[in-house]
Amino acid sequence: MPIADVLLHPEYKHFGAKNSIAILKLITPIKSRYMLPACLPFKNYLIQRNGKQTTERLFHVDFGSDVPRDFIDEEKEITRVRLLPRELCFLYDLPENATGKVPNRIACTTGCGFHSGAPSLVHEHTGHWSIVALSLGGYPCPDPLRSRRPPAPPRHILLHPYVPWITAAITGKSVGAFAKDDPFGFIMPRANIYDLIGHGWLGHWWMGGLRCYDRGEAADDMFRFYHEIFQVKPTTMTYMSYYLEVDAAHDTMIICVKVGMPYQIGTPKVWELDTPVVKVRIPTITFMNLYKFQVEAWGYNSTASSSSSESESSSDE
């Protein structure tokens, strides 16, 4: 993929920071009907509400070999890593090298043999993937037959502190110039504005309902209560249309229905959102082999939301 421009962060370009990030602008835009871009982190996922580091494992995606043969055909390895205490990040550093590092933007994890630039991600409860850190590389995995001191843990650059700069650099506008749809005032490029208006495809998922695009704190009131995988193996050439009625509890309002298919085949349709019962029609094309798709339904508790609003109004009085 040819590169048109490279934009370095000012802290690396002018202030002598040893580890930072850069933005690459490609000549040809990357678009796909079946792959979704990873989201920028809207919060620091590595810090819990009590101020301590999270104990949940991260998903680290890296190449399977030291020298990739082909960036398209090369297999990727997905490993689960966990955070280490921040003191271990600088335990192996010389004193003269510690001045050029920003401590609150570096994290250390388990593992070894990571390549520079490999991302670490978290999987949100709404299904979105957010990049939380980029690897700085690391020492190769030690030989288990040789007894040596363990190498320094792999380091990663936290991406959350750079999100305002990334959004301003991509759009050419200051962060405050945007509508407050996102905590940083920027609509993430997970969908265009036309997808937000009506129902439509996003990768291999068909989104039914505007709330399907919510993530983070905007989706705290949502929960998935229905998930089913359908599988058909016909003996002859078959054409089928599925008609489903999803019934939730009395106090649960269904606000989002997602249909996942390997290809964007047909156009599903959903009726009567924001009610306890919705109807879904899923047309398919003529097929002869094994066919699979999945359906998810998301809702929220209307009783809890109304009671919370009443308590807030009473407290104001």
Domain harbouring 88, CATH code: 2.40.10.10
Q: What angle do CA 278, 280, 282 make, to 5 degrees?
A: 175
- Beta strands (DSSP E) in the chain are 3-8, 22-26, 58-63, 76-81, 106-108, 116-123, 129-136, 155-158, 200-202, 205-208, 223-232, 241-247, 252-260, 269-271, 277-283, 291-301
Neighbours of 69 (CB within 10 A): 10
Q: Do 163 and 215 belong together in one domain?
A: no
**Within a domain: residue 74?**
yes
**Within a domain: residue 173?**
no
Cβ proximity of 254 and 299 under 8 Å? yes
Q: Do 311 and 225 belong together in one domain?
A: yes
**Within a domain: residue 182?**
no
**Within a domain: residue 272?**
yes
How far CA 99 is from CA of 2, 7, 45, 93, 156, in Å, comes to 35, 24, 26, 10, 17
CA–CA gap between residue 131 and residue 118 (Å, rounded): 10
Q: Which residues contact 230 (CB under 8 A, 6 or more apart)?
A: 242, 292, 293, 294, 295
Q: Do 78 and 204 belong together in one domain?
A: no
* Residue 227 pLDDT: 92
CA–CA gap between residue 182 and residue 189 (Å, rounded): 11
Q: Which residues contact 69 (CB under 8 A, 6 or more apart)?
A: none
Show pLDDT as tens, one digit a residue, over the chain (317 residues).
678 888 888 877 666 677 788 888 888 877 776 677 788 888 888 887 777 778 788 888 887 665 555 555 556 788 888 888 877 777 766 555 544 555 678 888 888 888 888 899 988 877 788 899 999 877 787 777 776 677 788 888 888 888 888 888 877 665 443 333 343 333 444 433 433 456 788 778 888 888 888 887 788 888 899 999 988 888 887 777 888 999 988 788 888 999 988 777 778 888 888 888 888 988 877 777 788 889 999 998 777 655 444 445 444 55
Q: Do 244 and 159 belong together in one domain?
A: no
Q: Do 163 and 200 belong together in one domain?
A: no
Please identify which residue in the block is written with the tokens 């001045």: 99
* Residue 295 pLDDT: 92
How far CA 122 is from CA of 61, 128, 212, in Å, comes to 11, 8, 18
The last residue of one of the domains, among 168, 202, 230, is 168
**Within a domain: residue 179?**
no
**Within a domain: residue 283?**
yes
Q: Do 22 and 153 belong together in one domain?
A: yes
Q: Do 14 and 123 belong together in one domain?
A: yes
Cβ proximity of 30 and 88 under 8 Å? no
Q: Do 56 and 199 belong together in one domain?
A: no
CA–CA gap between residue 18 and residue 264 (Å, rounded): 45
Coil, helix or strand at residue 11: helix
Nearest Cα to 115, choosing from 95, 94, 93, 141? 141
Cβ proximity of 279 and 245 under 8 Å? yes
The last residue of one of the domains, among 132, 153, 168, is 168
Cβ proximity of 112 and 154 under 8 Å? yes
Q: Do 239 and 138 belong together in one domain?
A: no
- Please list the residues that pair with 165 across neighbouring strands: none
Cβ proximity of 292 and 227 under 8 Å? no
Q: Do 207 and 268 belong together in one domain?
A: yes
Number of structural domains (the chain) is: 2
Please identify which residue in the block is written with the tokens 């620091």: 44
DSSP character at residue 47? B
Residue 128: domain span: 3-168
How far CA 43 is from CA of 8, 23, 190, in Å, comes to 23, 20, 17
**Within a domain: residue 245?**
yes
Nearest Cα to 59, choosing from 79, 84, 36, 82? 79
* Residue 75 pLDDT: 63
